[in-house]
Structure formats: C-alpha cells, structure tokens
Amino acid sequence: MSLSSHYIQILDMQFSGQVSSQEFEDWLSQIQVFLDQGRAFVLIMQTLPQTEFPEDYREIQSRWYKSYKSLFFQYCLGLARIAQDEDDRIRLDTPALQQAWQVPYFVSLSKTDALDWAVQRSLCKTQIT
C-alpha cells in the first residue's frame, strides 16, 4: 500500500475601502508566491460595497496575468467570486468572465457556498492509492 496526500491552500481575498495600486500589487504578489513555489490553491475573491480600485488596477492585473497565466492555469484549482447581491452575481457570472480566467469558476452570494466549492475543488486533486 502507498499513500500520497496533496494539500492545497484556499486564498481568501477580500477587497474593501480605497484599494491603492500598491495594495493591488501586494495581492498579486501573494498569489505569485504560490505559483513560484508550485503550490496548488483555490482563490476566493470578494469585493465589499463601496470599494474603490485604483485607476490602473486593470493594467496591473493584465500585465501580471500575461506574465503568470501558464503557472496560474497549472496551480489555480479554481476561482470563486462572492457577489454582493443578485445583480452583482449576474454581472460576475458570465461566460466571458469564466472564459477569461480559464480555470473552474464559481459565483455565489454566500461565503459558505464559496468555501464548500473551494474544498470540493481541492478534493479533486487529492490522491490516495
């Protein structure tokens, strides 16, 4: 008999208030650590009401994503978004966003549902032989 166990990390990112460019880059750097170490993870993202992002956040994210997308596809087991309300859920749960991330993608109104989904994603990668 052999036993092989693989664990993953659930990264629970919550944006609130005035997000600076540096804070946004720091958030990406936290993900980058997992990519550089070859560690699998599931990403949960939530943006609280009245959150304001810096003007250049899309540019920062695009540049980072281009540099790390192959590693992101390899190690990100899924992305769960927690919507603020039903309108936000509809906005986040589109084929275009699902295709843009190119990893399993889930949108929920509930953090509990997002965490349950993240655990299920991690179980898909656990192997016992």
| Each residue's pLDDT expressed in tens, for the chain with a length of 129 residues | 766 665 668 999 999 999 999 999 999 999 999 999 999 999 999 999 999 999 999 999 999 999 999 999 999 999 999 999 999 999 999 999 888 888 999 999 999 999 999 998 887 765 433
Q: Are 15 and 44 in contact (CB under 8 A)?
A: no
Q: Where are the domains of the chain?
A: 9-123
Place of tokens 């990100």: 76
Decide: 43 and 75 in contact? Cβ < 8 Å: no
Q: What is the CATH number that goes with domain 9-123? A: 3.30.750
pLDDT tens per residue, range 42-71? 999 999 999 999 999 999 999 999 999 999
Nearest residue to 35 via CA among 77, 69, 75: 75
Cβ atoms of 86 and 113 closer than 8 Å? no
Phi, psi of 112 (to 5 degrees): -60, -45
Element (H, E) at 46: strand 41-47
